[in-house]
Amino acid sequence: MTSPLEQKKIKITGPSVVTANRTIDGAVIYRTTAKDWSTDLAHAAIVRAADEARTLLAESVADDVGAVGAYIAPVEVTDGKIAPGNLREQIRRSGVTITLLPAIGLPVQA
């Protein structure tokens, strides 16, 4: 989970997607095949080679107004279903792995 913000060269070791955060609210988004963004990983465009990835990333980065910090992230594809390819991407998609205060149900003043 070394920060992909430190990625210099594009290295693809398997199926990958381009992901970013939506400028207006920071939501996690994935680049789709329709030259658009989706908050649903299921709609993400999958690339499998470095030059494909480079093209998709360049096109994503060009949308400077809509998205911030685009980078290439690994995924796992099983029976056509896309899943995050590492813990970092899992956390980005599903949220924090910890129990938060309100959920812990600490007593608060009524």
Q: Name the 3-class secondary structure at 18.
A: strand
State the nearest-atom distance from the C-beta of 80 to another protein, in Å.
24
Instruction: Give counts: helices (H), strands (E), the chain.
Output: 3, 5
Taking the CA of residue 101 as centre, how many other CA atoms within 13 Å lie in the half-sphere pointing to its CB?
2
80 versus 106: smaller Cβ distance to another protein: 106
State the nearest-atom distance from the C-beta of 87 to another protein, in Å.
7
State the nearest-atom distance from the C-beta of 41 to another protein, in Å.
14
| DSSP assignment letter at 46 | P
Closest listed residue to residue 22, CA positions, set 49, 10, 40: 40
43 versus 88: smaller Cβ distance to another protein: 88
By CB under 8 A, name the binding residues for another protein. 1-3, 5, 21, 23-28, 64-65, 68-69, 86-88, 91-92, 95-102, 104, 106-109
